Amino acid sequence: MRVIISTFVLFVIWVILTQSFDPQELITGFIVAFIVSMISPAIAGEKTGKWFQPKRYIYLIVYLFYFIWQMIKSNIDVAKRVISPKLPIKPGIVKVKTKLKTNAAKLALANSITLTPGTLTVDIVGDEFYIHWIDVGNCDDVHRNCQEIAEGFEKYLEVIFE
């Protein structure tokens, strides 16, 4: 059933993107959609039934709004630092431990952190992320602040991917 639904959805996307009803393109699109539907669970290494849970999609929508809000806040923060004559930065690489288990969730978290201005995911080792941060700040607050980098994203990604 998963393959049928997935093939249908991918085929519809193919038709929308190609905007062609030429029989050769329709046949090619169906074949490609079917092949992708068959091999995608094996590539992801995940259970196939979990993606049919509506809760995941609701969290995905909320996550997108949260991510956009974080990007706006970070852009304003970086812009203030650039405009300021003193250039108040204290760059450093911090270690952040994540509770995410799947590789897809870790990848989404790393990309979310990197796409947020002022932070850059440098490396991932197991469940630890090494993040270059534009302003590490006070050494006493580092641990608390470091966890804040990832925690907001994690609470959504945990439901979406795990």
Instruction: Say how many C-beta atoms besides its own lie within 10 A of residue 70's C-beta.
Output: 19
* pLDDT tens column, 111-144: 999 888 888 999 999 889 998 888 887 555 656 6
Compute the distance between CA of residue 66 and CA of residue 72 in angstroms, rounded to an integer: 10
What is residue 37's predicted lDDT score, i.e. its pLDDT? 81
The pTM assigned to this predicted structure is 0.68
What is residue 46's predicted lDDT score, i.e. its pLDDT? 53
Share of the chain above pLDDT 90, in %: 14
What is residue 90's predicted lDDT score, i.e. its pLDDT? 82
* pLDDT tens column, 23-62: 898 999 899 888 888 877 654 445 555 656 788 888 889 9
The contacts of residue 95 (CB under 8 Å, 6+ apart) are 128, 129, 130, 131, 146
What is residue 122's predicted lDDT score, i.e. its pLDDT? 92
